Structure 1
Amino acid sequence: MTIANTVLVVDDEIRSVEAIRRVLAGEFEVIGAHNAAEAETVLAGEMVQVILCDQRMPGESGVSFLKRVRDQWPDPVRLIISGYMDSEDIIAGINEAGIYQFITKPWQPDKLVESVREASALFRLQKEAGGAAVEAKPTEARLRSVVAAKRGAERLCYEFDAIVHAPTSPIAEVISLARRATEYDISVLITGASGTGKELLARAIHHGSGRAGKPFVVENCGALPDQLLESELFGCKKGAFTGAYQDRIGLFEVADGGAIFLDEIGETSPSFQVKLLRVLQEGEIRPLGAQRPRKVDVRVISATNRDLDAEVAAGRFRRDLYYRLAAFPIHVPALADRPMDIPPIATRILRDVNHAFHRAVPGFRPETVRRMQAYDWPGNVRELHNEIQRMVALSDADEPLAPDLLSGRIAHPQHAAAATATATLRDHIEALEKAQIQEALDRCNGNISRVAGSLGLSRVGLRAKMQRFGLQRHAGNGGAADGH
């Protein structure tokens, strides 16, 4: 069977395949394969335009697999994804495998789509040329320069100077404190409300430290149940639990020599906290089902929007783990506490939205900025970003954004307050219920099973309420599976 615009994604991580599927949905038909054998079965029966292959897979590297593909199925355009920008295996095998492009992790959705579009266009060009293979064949020196440029670009994106703020902002003091954290190889705990930029600060700390250039990996601890979280972080042996069909390398081992960012650490269970404490104390991990531990050298940077002091006092978070994680605590203030940051942050967001939407909106009218500064932004920078996207989408011309494009709660806060004052008891209850569900969706990274469990609802009941309130599941960090 022939399928137009078909992309084969080869990755042993199910979540990675699904994340790419969501990004390419609507423009490409995505077929997932979780190992080389599955991928070869697909290639034998489907007309595939583009192959997007992960470099690190159990049993065989992506480059090795793509070398065989080039010999047997030369038509598809081949792309490789890796979190190791200086991988010697990739550099050495790039020409032999006929790899068109090297994509680094963490990939950006818009850039990934652009790369796949280019590869698809190249595939069509091959066909129009009578089937002759048209490949990008970079020399090793050229590839090394591209790798160096990518590494340099990543460092610039995550340096402290890239954190947008006003000169008088309290963020300046936060950055000054975080710079000190780069000087010492100790654990850092970043606290603050959701959407304040805790991960961006963590990346800046890593890229300013002596571990810069080594892996920096991210895991949202609130998005997975204990067993899957353990497997994700510590790895597992084949057969360790139902669904463990092969050996898996954990993120602590992937991050060896570098750093790991554990987001929403306050959502972890007491039993998991015990296991994480052992890793921090002993400097070793034990994959699920393994007989022997493995030594790792990883700096831990964690974050939470909870008050861990209160969680410790309530017995929900281990005191000894808290002290291990919070050797160097940093608090990021909410956007409501730094209105002076809204103009420069909004300007940066608008620049990015213009690029993504292919627009040229020059800025904001003064009254628009004043109203944005008067709003308290409970969703912080994430909410501000969504609002600016909406304003650009609603604007008909590339001219400064007017205040009438703002959402009602921002443009007319007094009307929203009056409506709240006159609302019925039922309105208050529904508003509270909606807010709680939204908070749980954000905290659990869109994992439906976990959200339902935390709220004491069935999955069916939760989905019904989400539909009623117009709430959507937005999984981050590559997307979290919800068990369907």
Structure 2
Amino acid sequence: MPNEVATRPCVLVVDDEPRSVETIARVLDDEFEVLPAQGAAQALRAMETRPVQVVLADQRMPETTGIELLTQLREHWPEAVRIIISGFTEADDIIAGINDAGIYQYITKPWHPDALLLTVRNAARLHALQRDNAHLAQELRLSADDLARRGDACRQELRRRFRFDEIVRAPDSPLHAAVAQVAQMAPHDVSVLITGESGTGKDLFARALHYNSHRADRPFVVENCGAIPNELLESELFGHVRGAYTGAVADRTGLFEEADGGTLFLDEIGEISPAFQVKLLRVLQSGEFRQVGSNRMRHTDVRIVAATNRDLEQEVRAGRFRADLYYRIAEMSLHLPPLRERPGDLQALADHLLARLARALGKPGPGRLSAESLECLRDYAWPGNVRELNNVLKRMLVLSADAQLGPELLPPHVLRGGTDEADFMMPPSEDPGVATLRERVENLEAAILRETLLRHRWNKSRAAEELGLSRVGLRSKLERYGLERKLDS
């Protein structure tokens, strides 16, 4: 029983009338640990002795009013949830001071025991929720706290990590042009729109822009505009005040304010609604905004870096994206080529990703791609770009029994070079350049043969058995499609 009592939420009950404290204690005793205090002085001493989750105070006391006491407690113990009890005659005083004291609930006399118990229960749950959110926020801020504590050393590490020469690519990579462009843009306070398919590294280039600019010592804040509804996006970006809408139990700082002096990266900006585009344009033009539910204007100084996998110029022509907002976010534009246009980067990217994945997975070594595996990777079109490559390499590492990563560890669709049966079910076309049915079937057959042989490490007996062919039949097909010579070379 002692352990069970110790884990119960603690409620501080403050009233100059001992009988009132005893009455409230009887209502709460079964679920809460009640800490009695007869007046403000005892309440302050009690708060210093142990953690208190909920404070219940009577408004009319000789030393000080309940509102004055709770206002004082808010300054020193803001995490405690505060409840005031009063008679109807004191309602005007309560309402006038409710914001200063941060009152969670106002209970009038005479109160009903069930209503009082329910109110305190909800207050304790609110305290637990706020505590959990605070712990999560602390974990998310660890890198920022570390940066503040270690100062220049951390700043230099971030700048080193996002140097332009740290962007992985081959010596003759098409990515060189994009890197050269971003290096020219970084020192200047211009808005940059980064375009490219999903998974091409838009987030990486946005960070490189920030950490190579004069804003590098200020925050880099990210919001994925396509991940949350536009109704919530306004609160995320601008913040809100307590009571702005149902569930807004406390003031919240928006990302424009958090990023002040730094960079705000708006990913998937093409997903925002036309109505929200107007609100976003207003703050980008003036640097001023209002929190949801507030009339007070706030100012922010941020650099905007936006990204999208859509063709925003086409969206503007179609009337789905405002032209004035487009020109505001695209003072400079940067396009990242897809991975299929950079086959020469695959070796460098694979080595880099395998080393990082091996550390994350606890593997003794990064693993080495066989020549056949690398050839398969180069033959594949990578619709998911670097993100998909990362997933494929992770699969290979997880399934591998040794350091050599052979093609049998690759997913079937990568082994087939992306060829899928669905690719051959297209409607007929009048274009004479389109392959005939026979040619399509032969292409599919060749892809399946290649995949099967690679998966069985070119053991033709096993491949023939799986495909329902004789060894002679398999060899004939390999010769027909030129695979025998390719695999034996």
Could you say which TM-score interval applies, normalised by the shorter chain?
0.5 to 0.7
The answer for unaligned runs of 5 or more in structure 1 is 4-38, 44-58, 66-77, 85-102, 108-142, 425-484
Say which is worse superposed, 202-211 or 353-362, in terms of deviation. 353-362
Query: Could you say which residue in structure 2 is the equivalent of 1:421?
Result: 424
| Percent sequence identity over aligned pairs | 47
Aligned alpha-carbon RMSD (Å): 3.2
Distance in 2 between the 1:361 and 1:178 partners?
31
Question: After superposition, where does 1:102-251 map in structure 2 within 5 Å?
Answer: 103-105=142-144, 146-251=150-255
Q: What's 1:371 paired with?
A: 376
Residue 365 and residue 106 in structure 1: after superposition, are their counterparts in 2 closer, same or farther (change >3 A)? farther
How many Å apart are 1:382 and its aligned residue?
0.5
Inter-partner Cα distance in structure 2 for 1:148 and 1:83 = 21
CA distance in 2, matches of 1:185, 1:160: 18
List structure 1 runs of 4+ shifted beyond 4 angstroms: 39-43, 59-62
Counterpart-to-counterpart distance in 2, 1:301 and 1:147: 25
- CA distance in 2 between counterparts of 1:204 and 1:106 reads 21
Give the residue type in structure 2 aligned to 1:375: Y
Q: 1:41 deviation in Å?
A: 6.8
- Partners in 2 of 1:267 and 1:286 — Cα distance? 22
Aligned partners of 2:234, 2:257: CA distance in 1, in Å?
12
Q: What's the offset of the Cα at 1:413?
A: 2.7
Going from structure 1 to structure 2, the CA distance change for 1:412 and 1:61 (only over 3 Å counts) comes to farther
Query: Which structure: larger Rg?
Result: 2
Q: Secondary structure at the match of 1:262?
A: strand
Hey, what does 1:259 align to over in structure 2? 263
Instruction: Name the CA shift for 1:370/1:292 in 2 (closer, same or farther; >3 Å).
Output: same
The aligned counterpart of 2:138 is 81
User: Distance between the aligned counterparts of 2:424 and 2:140, measured in 1?
Assistant: 52
- Alpha-carbon distance, 1:150 to partner: 2.9
Cα distance, 1:244 vs. partner? 1.2
- Equivalent pairs, count: 308
In the TM superposition, what is the alpha-carbon distance from 1:337 to its structure 2 partner?
A: 1.1
C-alpha separation between the residues in 2 aligned to 1:225 and 1:401? Answer: 42
Counting only pairs closer than 5 Å after superposition, residues 24-103 of structure 1 correspond to structure 2 as 81=138, 103=142
C-alpha distance 40-385 of structure 1, shift in aligned 2 (>3 A) = farther
In the alignment, structure 1 residue 316 sits paired with structure 2 residue 320 = yes
Determine the structure 2 residue equivalent to 1:388: 393
Describe the SS at the equivalent of 1:104: helix
Return the letter of the residue paired with 1:104: S
Please state how far the C-alpha of 1:231 moved relative to its aligned partner: 0.5
- Alpha-carbon separation, structure 2, partners of 1:257 and 1:263: 19
Q: In 2, Cα distance between the equivalents of 1:264 and 1:218?
A: 11
**8 Å Cα contact 1:255/1:298 also seen in 2:** yes
CA contact under 8 A between 1:259 and 1:300: conserved in structure 2?
Answer: yes
Residue of 290, 297, 301 corresponding to 2:301 = 297
**Distance change >3 Å, CA 263–CA 80, structure 1 → 2:** closer
**What is the match of residue 358 of structure 1?**
362
For residue 421 of structure 1, report the CA deviation from its aligned partner: 2.2
TM-score with structure 1 length normalisation? 0.59
Shift in alpha-carbon separation, 1:244–1:408, aligned structure 2, 3 A: same
Residues 366, 295 of structure 1: alpha-carbon distance in 2 compared, 3 angstrom cutoff = same
CA–CA distance in 1 between the matches of 2:136 and 2:423?
Answer: 53
How far apart are residue 81 of structure 1 and its match? 3.1
| AA of the residue aligned to 1:363 | R
**Which whole-Å CA distance do the structure 2 matches of 1:339 and 1:201 have between them?**
20
In the alignment, is the contact (CA less than 8 A) between 1:83 and 1:106 conserved in 2? no
Following superposition of structure 1 onto structure 2, how do residues 427-438 of structure 1 map, counting pairs within 5 Å?
none
The one-letter code sitting in structure 2 at the alignment partner of 1:158 is F
The residue correspondences of 1:326-365 to structure 2 (distance < 5 A) are: 326-359=330-363, 360-365=365-370
CA distance 1:183–1:61, change in 2 (3 Å): farther
Query: Which amino acid in structure 1 is aligned with residue 424 of structure 2?
Result: A
| Cα displacement (A) at 1:412 | 2.3
CA contact (8 A) 1:174 1:332 kept: yes
Matched letter for residue 322 of structure 1: Y
The equivalent of 2:437 in structure 1 is none
SS at match of 1:413: coil
How far the C-alpha of 1:105 sits from its partner, in A, is 4.8
Give 1:348 shift: 0.6
**Offset at residue 249 of structure 1 (A):** 0.6
What's the counterpart of residue 284 of structure 1? 288
3-state SS in 2 of match to 1:294 = strand
The question of whether the paired residues in 2 share the 8 Å contact of 1:83 and 1:215 is answered with: no
CA distance in 2, matches of 1:297, 1:61: 32
Point out where structure 2 has 5 or more consecutive residues left out of the alignment.
Answer: 5-49, 55-73, 80-134, 428-489
Q: Give the structure with the larger helix fraction.
A: 2
